[in-house]
Chain A
Amino acid sequence: MPEQTFIVNGKRVHVDVDDDVRLLWVLRDLLGITGPKYGCGINVCKACTSHINGKAFNPCAVPVGKLDEDDEVTTIEGLPREVPERKRGEHGLHPMQEAWLEQDVAQCGYCQPGQIMAAVALVRKVEREGGTITDADLDTIRNICRCGTYTRIREAIRDGAARM
């Protein structure tokens, strides 16, 4: 069986598994990294949203064999590492996670790791394009929350963007 090598949350990992197994299952079932959630397996619900080399992506739609050994995958567990220590908040977390706590966004919490990872990427994208978060930007988020805590998600992203 091929050995897969890549970087997760700052640590290089080696896993023996077939190339075609999607990264979500390698993370969850083989590496025990359970922050990214399963919600559909077809890149629709976005509950598994994580970062690859700093950009948002969905590991349910990426065969592990497509990763290079220097690809850096960040899951919710490693998100605080994406900002320097001085940028982290009172809980030692990424500013978006701190905003999430402040706004008490989570209800059941299942989709929230993916929501936060998507929010961070959206804010960075809007900043790269020279803008600030608008309602129209927020309307483009595809992550589903079946508890319907969308109002607080929108508030937290604006708050988190200001903190970032």
Chain B
Amino acid sequence: MPPSRDPQLDPTAQPGATPYALDRRRFVGYVLGGATLVAAADLVLVDVPRAAAQVPTGPQPAELYDLNDMLTDAARPTANLITVTINKDGTASFALPRAEVGQGITTSTAMLIAEELDLPVGKVRVSLAPARPELLFNQLTGGSNTTISTYTPIRVAAAVARAALLDAAAIVLGDTVANLTAKGGVVTAPGGGSVSYGELATRAARSGPSTREVQLKAQGDFAVVGRPTNRVDALAAVTGRKDFTTDLQVPGALPTMVCRAPTLNGTPVRVRNRRDVLRMLGVTHVVIVSTGVAVRARTFGQCIDAVRALDVVWKEGPVAGESDETILAELRAAQLPMPQLPDTPLSKTVSGDFTFFFRSNSAMDTNSAIADVRADRATIWSGLKSPIVAQQRIAERLGMAPDQVKVNVVTSGGSFGRRLFFDGALEAAEISQKMGKPVKLMWHRADDARVGRTHPMGTCRVQAQVVGQEVVAFNQSLTCVETDYRHGLGEIITSAAADLPAGVGNLGFAETIFALTQEVPYDFGVVTQTLVETDDRFNTGSMRNIYSPDVRVASELVVDKLAATMGLDPYQFRRKFQRNPRLLAVLDTVAQAGEWGRAMAPGTAQGIAIHKEYKGVSACLVEIDTRPATTGRRIRDAVTGPRVTRVTFAIDVGLAINPRGLEAQMQGGINDGIALALTSSLHLRDGHFLEASWDNYFYTRQWNTPPDVRVIVMPSQETSPGGAGEAGVAASFAAVACAYARATGTMPTEFPINHRTLSFKPKSYVPPIPQSPRNGLRHTY
């Protein structure tokens, strides 16, 4: 394979990909007519240069063209507009066609608009757009792609608005645009006359629709972008005013819950005591739906009582009888043979074989949706990352045309991949139709943990061949239960597949995602990575960072083994085989800031790991304590175990729009990595998952979290932003695994390390949800 070309260094490469991009900073947008000024841009404007590096070994697909390139390119043919509106009160508003789930995109979007408009961030109102089918593939929040794909178009729309405001100001102030300055939402003339954006908003709209060429600000002139900025929704969050789906008050939408089968995806046959349950206090409706038996009541507490009282005959689900062990055996049987490595006296093979159990991406805010389905139309409110597909599927389920279904996107209390799907919204629509009433559906925590989507279980095998002080081959093979991409990402791939570079195009959905995200970021000679997926009976989906956490843990543990084989220090080994200067920089940064190699007491150790994805690079150095005094800590209904005591994390994400938000995402990723390594998994037993709450599913808690965390946002040479939401997980998980191996002297082969110990008593399956306690006043403090 020829070495890849860097378009930035290649004089024949054409920068800018659409006819609307005149050069790297000049673009065409539109002024639209309206009561006040509305400025627009194509959501498909892109000036992201291709990631491409000069590499000595054959480049892997993800180095030439990655998942983010595909998501960005998929949007190109849809020439549809996003608009920035200037209001009479001097604020700007923008409906973002993405979902805010905690990752901070409403804040970073407000910053981009504030930057180009010369308006304070606090005067920019960003809301979430409802499903806009005309945007086709351009309303999917996933792959950490929001900022990468919207960075240019949002700035263009804001720049168009600014230009139109300045034109209007020139007339009002009797001067030329060139003489005017705009700052803080006020335009000032040299003579001292001034006029506010609010006063100009109506006037600027009067000229009617026009096309306009604008020049975006140069990076050196940024005053907002790149400055650590607090979240725009923070005040609402700390006062209880931030509304999530179940906080919304829709007339008549009473609390609704579903009674579910004792085996995963079991289905209802009949209800033996429907009349009795209907007579219970507060209960208004009991209906059978495809996923269980729905009850509607005056309060959720009365829904819980009713669900627990229901006596239902169930048909068993498709995984009845299955357990971790049977699925593991199935995965082992599906594994492809690893390529035979030549075994010569000069070469050594270093290998690893790892198992990753099912994990849950359940968020604090459980699956929930409000549905008001009438005879001829339906309205839905829910936290949705793929609202267009949700709208189509809901319309199908209701027997309506998509334009009869209005889908509103609500801010969600976390996603971690879960809100790529719309399980709650689809279920709520069906229930509302069957009851003939509006419903506010909320999944019980037990449902969200047991029936909600999972990160599939898988095995990952690695073989590396060493000759002397060189690694000449590195093979990695992931075998897992199928990851469900039917939320519409699949349609993007179908649509974009023809345009993918040779060799990437004809793979299946999962194979494509895998090929476009996975790399071995070392100079290891001939590198092969393969994926086999099997078994589509489970409720799965992308969990934050999809394949990378497991793949990178397997890689980095074998990297430590390779280092030991060569008698090299893990950090020095990683330097020696590093071919990417950005990775080298983050690696050196954490080694220095985290004091790599400092003396550690027996039973404690450091671990170091790197990762490259979403147009960014990261490195993580952790310290772990596995001494009995730490692992033996007793806390009720908890897993204590080893504790990560210190984390140093460095990320070069390219242009960091909001370093404060980026740091927060890395802190979250670190806690996810710790959970994946040490404490959190689902146990499949006899056809169902055992975990029903947060005292069963052990996500990182305060007693597990490191008391000392330092995130370093690297100054970057890159001019474009990378993805942030998922970038913190893989290197953290891998560094914790490596540290644990070094502290205990044994390389772990199953994750999380505590999976074989069941640390809780499973809650009942019939009834499917636990009753709320009554003793809360005995536990005040």
- A positions within 8 Å CB-CB of B: 17-18, 20-26, 28-30, 32, 34-45, 47, 52, 55-63, 66, 75-77, 91, 93, 97, 100-101, 104-113, 116, 121-122, 125, 135, 138-154
Contact = CB atoms under 8 A, between A and B. Distances in A.
A48 B517 CA distance: 39
B764 to A, nearest CB: 12
B671 A148 contact: yes
Contacts, number: 230
B777 A62 contact: yes
Given A29-B298, A61-B774, A148-B670, A41 B240 contact: no
Contacts of A151: 667, 705-706, 709
Interface residues of B, number: 76
Contacts of A18: 281-282
Main secondary structure of the interface of B (DSSP, over half): loop
A146 B703 CA distance: 14
B255 A41 contact: no
Given A56-B781, A144-B364, A40 B694 contact: yes
Contacts of A153: 702
A47 to B, nearest CB: 6
B299 A109 contact: no
Contact of A107 (B241, B668, B699): B668
B705 A150 contact: yes
Contacts of B230: 101, 104
A56 to B, nearest CB: 5
A-B complex: 3 closest residue pairs judged by Cβ atoms: A35-B240, A108-B102, A110-B413
Interface string B378-418: 00000000000000000000000000000000011110100
Nearest to B297: A29
Contacts of B779: 43, 57-58, 61
A154 B247 contact: no
A76 B102 CA distance: 20
Contacts of B340: none
Interface stretch (B195-203, B231-239, B617-625): B231-239
Given A41-B445, A42-B772, A60-B776, A76 B240 contact: yes
A11 to B, nearest CB: 16
Nearest to B414: A108
B646 to A, nearest CB: 12
B672 A25 contact: no
Given A109-B237, A144-B699, A37 B664 contact: no
Interface stretch (B57-65, B300-308, B469-477): B300-308
A110 B364 contact: yes
Contacts of A58: 776, 779
Contacts of A29: 255, 298-301
Nearest to A124: B781
A21 to B, nearest CB: 5
B772 A61 contact: yes
A111 B364 contact: yes
Nearest to A92: B239
Nearest to A67: B777
Contacts of A62: 774, 776-777
Contacts of B304: 41
A145 B770 CA distance: 22
Interface string B680-712: 000000000000011100011111011101000
B238 A56 contact: no
B360 to A, nearest CB: 10
Contacts of B101: 108
Contacts of B366: 38-39
A56 B249 CA distance: 27
A22 B670 contact: no
Given A26-B299, A144-B694, A148-B671, A108 B776 contact: no
A121 B364 contact: no
A61 B776 CA distance: 5
Nearest to A24: B301
A10 to B, nearest CB: 15
Given A100-B238, A147-B364, 18 more contacts: A18-B282, A21-B302, A32-B249, A35-B239, A36-B240, A39-B366, A43-B776, A58-B776, A66-B777, A106-B231, A106-B237, A107-B664, A107-B665, A109-B236, A110-B244, A140-B703, A148-B671, A152-B667
B166 to A, nearest CB: 33
Contacts of A35: 239-241
B567 interface: no
B770 A42 contact: yes
Contacts of A150: 667, 671, 700, 702, 705
Contacts of B694: 39-40, 44-45, 144
A43 to B, nearest CB: 5
A28 B302 CA distance: 13
A16 B695 CA distance: 33
B191 interface: no
Contact of A139 (B246, B302, B664, B703): B703
Given A38-B246, A42-B772, A56 B413 contact: no
B701 A142 contact: yes
A141 B231 contact: no
B775 interface: yes
Interface in B696-746: 699-703, 705-707, 709
A62 to B, nearest CB: 4
A87 B670 CA distance: 35
Contacts of A38: 246, 300, 366, 442
B365 interface: yes
A154 B704 CA distance: 13
B299 A30 contact: yes
Contacts of B702: 138-143, 150, 153-154
